[in-house]
Amino acid sequence: MGTLLLKEISGFLNSLIGYVVMIIFLTAIGLFMWVFPGEFNTLDAGYANIDTLFTLAPWIFMFLAPAVTMRMFSEEQRTGTIELLLTKPVSEWQIIFSKYFAGIVLILFTLIPTLFYFYTVSTLGAPKWNVDMGAMWGSYVGLFFLSAAFTSIGLFASSISSNQIVSFILGVFLSFICFVGLESLSSLELFGIADHVILKLGINEHYISLSRGVIDTRDILYFVCLIGIFLWFTKLKLDSRKW
C-alpha cells in the first residue's frame, strides 16, 4: 500500500493538477480576504479573524476535491489499467486507501499555507494575538474533515464512470447534496420530526458545530462514518467489475 500511496502522491506532484488546486484555493481565499471589498474582506471587517477562510473554503473544496479525485479511477478505467491494477498482489481496500490518502495529503498541503493568513491576522489585531484560538483550531479540524469527506465522495464518483468530466460533475453534485442539500430539504419542514434527522445527516450542521471550537466526538464520528460509507460504495463498485 505504501508503494501505491507514494505513486499517487508523486503523480500529483509531477503533474499540474496538484499545483493548480493549491494555487486556485490560496488565490481565491487571498483575494476575498485581502483584495475584494465587501463582507469577506478582513481589513474592512474592523476586527481580526479568518472567518472568511472557513466560510468560503467549503464551497471551494466542493469543486476542488472532485477535480483532484476525478481521474483516480476514471483514468484507470479509460486506459484499461484498472484490470492490471486489480490483478496485482494488493487488496482492493489497499488500492482505495492509497488513492484516498493521496488526496488527503494534497488537501493538507493546501491547508498548511493558510496558517500564514492566521499569523497575519493575529499580528494585525489590537492587541496582537487577540483571537479565539479554540474556535480557530476547531474550524481547522472541521475544515479538514469536511474536505476529507468531499475527497471520499469524489473518489466514489471517479469509480462510477470512465469519463473524468462525468465523474467531476457527479462528485460536485453529491458533495453539494451532502453539504447543504439535506439542510435545505429539512428547512422545508415536509417530514415533521424526520426533518431534524435529515438536518443532522448534512455535513454543514456538523461542520458548524466543530467551528465553534468544541470538538464533539459525535461530529467526528459522523465524518468518519460518512467517509467510510463512500469508500465502501467505491469498494462495491470495484467488486461489481468481477460480476
| Better-scored residue on pLDDT, 172 or 79 | 172
Alpha helices per DSSP H over the chain = 2-13, 16-30, 42-45, 51-79, 81-86, 92-111, 115-124, 133-160, 164-176, 182-187, 194-201, 203-211, 217-239
Nearest Cα to 41, choosing from 26, 54, 30? 30
pLDDT at 95: 87
Domain extents in the chain: 2-242
Residue 93 CA to residue 96 CA, distance in Å, equals: 5
Nine cell digits for residue 8: 499517487
- Judged by DSSP in three states, 127 sits in coil
Q: How confident is the model at residue 223 (pLDDT cuts 50, 70, 90)?
A: very high
Across all residues in the chain, what is the average pLDDT?
83
Q: What is the pLDDT of residues 55-105, one digit of tens each?
A: 889 999 999 899 888 888 887 777 777 777 767 777 888 889 988 998 898
Which DSSP string corresponds to 28-88?
HHHIIIIIS-STT-HHHHSS---HHHHHHHHHHHHHHHHHHHHHHHHHHHHHTHHHHHHTS
The predicted model scores a pTM of: 0.90
- Say how many residues make up the chain: 243
User: HSE-up of 230 (CA within 13 Å, CB side)?
Assistant: 23
At 151, list the grid cell: 475527497
User: Which amino acid, 158?
Assistant: S
CB 220 within 8 A of CB 196: no
- Compute the distance between CA of residue 108 and CA of residue 89 in angstroms, rounded to an integer: 29
Whether residue 152 has pLDDT greater than 90: yes
Average pLDDT over residues 22-44: 80
Given CA atoms 189, 227, 64, 143 in this order, what sign does their dihedral have?
positive
pLDDT band at 242 (very low <50, low <70, confident <90, very high): low
